[in-house]
Amino acid sequence: MPNPTLSDVAQAAGVSYATADRVINNRGNVAQKSIEKVREAVTRLDYVRNVAAANLSRKRVYRLAFLIPKGTNAFFNRIKHHIASVAEQMSVENVSVDVFEVSAFSVDGLSDSISEFGQLDFDGVAIVGLQSESLEGPLVDLRSRGVKVIGLVSDLPREHRAAYIGIDNIVAGRTAARMTGLAHAGQAGAIQTFVGSMDARDHTERLDGFRAVVSEDYPQLDVLEPILTKDDPSFLYAQTTKVLTRAPNVTALYNVGAGNSGLVAAIGNQPAKRPFCVVHELVAHSRQALIDGHIDLVIDQRPDIEVNRAFTMLRALIDGRDLPPLPDLMPTIYVRDNLPADPLNQKTKDQN
């Protein structure tokens, strides 16, 4: 028996072909009663939507967008560069991509940007998220317009997005703590932590994971209250210098966010006082800091893979397909001995 067609579904549901097409392809402007009839017919006939044929017939263009924090953050510059590379490759598949920059760590700024974005004509958006109830209204409105929303790198309020693309940041923080604990070899010490913003879920989860492992397995270590940095390199430079100068009991530094060029510069000025040091993201200056011996460990989340997954996930959501099974994205640990020859192919060193 041949596979049922959309015409078969329309006839079984007692609606027009155009109405069945609108329901199947989520195009709106259909009465709820007709939607229920079409869905019942789809189930009864075991109809399988041919996404490729539907897209071809409608000359489907996937209109995607990314909301990324603005500034000189080397990690997000790395992400924007990869988005541009993928977008160029996918343009032949009728995928259009725009990148919008939003104020870093500003809940109000992100809320306003999401609200403004809802007035634009896009099918899906990946957002580097923050955690705040004030984001929920704009996200609900955005999704009610049919826009598919995913969190990227740092999650949004979970009930208001379709998926999250990123590493398990609790695992990343626990990994940093494990390596820091092992480095102390049973000796007592104090760990100074730095956090960009407590509104960023990736930052708070890394800190929570770090604290949990130290509490469970390294009780001789004291995790000091985090210094809030807004990922500002100059502020991190000043605070790191102060720690190295005034806190001789500090035996380790852990920065859960960015701004590491400031931290590295401060350590370079006082190398004899350098504690064990863990940071996140392999970019030009953190790679060089490993080589120079200014830091010990970089935990990288493979943003190229995250961006690739974001494209795949958004297209699946827009097509109404089941989300593809994807293995957990595990952070990569880099020390000076296992660095790739040229991981970023950067011609100039970004300032973070």
pLDDT number for residue 325: 82
Domains 62-165+303-321 and 169-300 fall in the same CATH topology = yes
Q: What is the CATH number of domain 169-300?
A: 3.40.50.2300
pLDDT number for residue 51: 53
pTM beyond 0.75: yes
pLDDT number for residue 9: 85
pLDDT number for residue 28: 66
Q: What is the CATH number of domain 62-165+303-321?
A: 3.40.50.2300
Fold of 6-49: 434 Repressor (Amino-terminal Domain) (1.10.260)
Consecutive 10-residue averages of pLDDT for the chain (352 residues): 77 87 74 89 78 52 92 90 93 88 93 89 94 94 92 94 95 98 97 96 97 98 97 96 94 97 96 94 95 97 95 90 84 95 51 54
pLDDT number for residue 108: 94
Instruction: Provide the residue ranges of all domains of the chain, joining segments of one domain with +.
Output: 6-49, 62-165+303-321, 169-300
Any residues with CB less than 8 A from the CB of 209 and at least 6 apart, and which?
Answer: 169, 170, 171, 172, 173, 174, 175, 176, 177
